[in-house]
Amino acid sequence: MVSQLKQSLDQLDRRNELIRISKAVDPRFEASALIKRIQQVSNKAILFEKIKGYDLPLVSNILGTYQRIAKILGCEVNEINPTWNKKEKELELYTPIRSQREADSYIESAIHEIPSLTYCEKDAGPYITSGMALARDPETGIYNLSFHRLQIVDDSKLRFRITPGNHLETLYQDAEKRDQPLEVAILLGGHPALMLAAASRLPIDQDELRLAGAFMGEPIRLRKCKSIDLEVPVAIDFVIEGSLLPHVREEEGPFGDFLGYYVPVLKNHVFEVRYVSRLKDSHAYGILAGSAEQDLLVGVPIAANIYSIVKGAIPSVIDVACLPHVYHSVVKIKQEFEGQARQAALAALSCDPSQTKICTVVDPDVDIHNPLDVNWATTTRCCPDTDVFIVPNIPSFRRDPYRTHYGKMGIDATMPLSEEAASDFQRTRIPGVENIKLEDYLP
C-alpha cells in the first residue's frame, strides 16, 4: 500500500509546489527554521528527505495556502466556505468501510523511529505537533478526530495536551469518572483531507471520519488496531495505539504555541503507548505552531462557520477568511445600505465567540485572502473615529490570565455607498499586469 501522503507529495511535485531538501537537517531548530523561512519566501510544501538521527523523511506545510486547501476540496479559493459547509451536510453519504486487507501493509515501529522536531529555543524537547487523536464514544460509536500536541518522553509514554472544550476532553472525562483509561489512536500523515477534518468544528454527535470521506469524495476505509479496540483509517503513515490514563497528570512544556509565545509548564495528561505501526514508505509530518499552515488549519473551519451563520442573516455577504491570524476574521460584503457592514461585523464577532477577536469588513473589490489588500482597504477606507467600534469585557481565549484577549473590535473598511463615492473610490488598474512574466524581460 502506498502512503496517501506520499501520493499528495507526488501531485504537489508535478505542480511545482514542493521543495525537496536533500541535505541532512538537524531536528533541533534547523528544520523549524527552514519551515519558517520557506513559508516567508515561497510557502511551498516541504519534504525533508533526511532528518539527522532518523531513517525516515518528514513533511510540512502541505496545507500552507488557500490554493492547496481549495485543491483538496475540489473548488476555487472563493468557494472554500460554501464547499466546506456543503460537505458537512453530506456526512451520511460517507459511512466508513471496514476492511482488513490492508493490515499486512504495516510494520511494527516505535516512537524513537518517528522523525520529531524541537521547534523553538525554549521548547522542553521534541514534540509531535501533527498528531490526530482518534477516539470513539462508547455509547454512540461516533468517532472523534482532533489535533493535540504531544511531548515525547520515551517509547512508552507521551505527554498529551487536551485543548479545553475539545470533544476529546468530554470523552476523557466520562472515562475518568469510571476510573477507566480512554483508548486513543494517534494518526500521523495520511491523506491531507484527514487533517482538514481533524481541524473541523463539527458537533460532538457528528463523525470527523465521515467528513474526511466527504472531502475526499469516497468513504474512509478502516482497519483494526492491534492493541486497542479501535479501527483506524488505512494508508496512515504512522499509528500510535494507546490510552490516556485516568487521574494522571505530569508536567508538560514549555512549548512555543500558535500565539507566538511560550506556553508555560502545565500539568497535562499522560498517554501510555501500547503499539506503533507504520507503512513501509512512511513519512512523518510536522506542523510549525503559529505558521501559515496552522493558521489555515484552524482558520478555515472558523471562516466556514462564520460564513454560514452570517450569510444566513445577511445574504449579501460574499466570502469570509481568517487572516493573518485566526483571531482576525475578514468579511467581504456587497453593502445594500449604510451600516450593513457594522451589522456583518457584529454577527461575525458573536457567532464564533471563542476565537474571533477582531472583524474587518471590506468591499467586493478587496482580496480577503491577501493581508496586504485587507490592510490597504483598512488604511484607505476606514475612518477610525466612526468606523471602529469596541465591544468590551467579552473573553476570546480560555487561557488568558492577563485578560489580553478580552473585548472585541469591529472595523468597517468599506467605502461610502453614494454614486460619487463609487467613482472617487474606484481602484487604479494597470492593464496586463497579471500577464507579465519577468523572465521574458530579464537577461
Catalytic residue annotation: 257
Backbone dihedral region of 119: left (phi > 0), alpha (psi from -120 to 50 degrees) or beta?
alpha
How does DSSP assign 283-331, residue by residue?
A: -EE---TTSHHHHHHHHHHHHHHHHHHHHHH-TTEEEEEE-SSTTEEEE
**Which helix H or strand E contains 350, and what residues bound it?**
helix 340-351
**DSSP one-letter code for 265:** P
Grid cell digits, residue 224: 483494526
Q: What are phi and psi of 138, to 5 degrees?
A: -65, -25
Integer Cα distance of 437 and 283 in angstroms: 36
Grid cell digits, residue 25: 537537517
Grid cell digits, residue 412: 468597517
Q: Is the previous residue joined to 371 through a cis bond, with omega within 30 degrees of 0?
A: no
Q: Where are the alpha helices (DSSP H) in 44-117?
A: 66-73, 80-88
Q: For residue 104, give every residue at least 6 positions away whose Cβ sits within 8 Å of its Cβ, in sequence order, or none.
A: none
User: What are the distances in angstroms from CA 59 to CA 6, 20, 32, 281, 362?
Assistant: 9, 10, 11, 13, 36
Residue showing cell 489555515? 296
CA nearest neighbour of 53 among 140, 152, 139, 150? 152
Integer Cα distance of 349 and 410 in angstroms: 8
Burial class, 178, CB count within 10 angstroms (exposed 0-12 / middle 13-18 / buried 19+): exposed
CA nearest neighbour of 119 among 3, 287, 367? 287
Vertex 67 angle, CA 143 and 367, to 5°: 115
b/e per residue 416-442 (b: at least 16 CB within 10 A): eeeeeeeeebeeeeeeeeeeeeeeeee
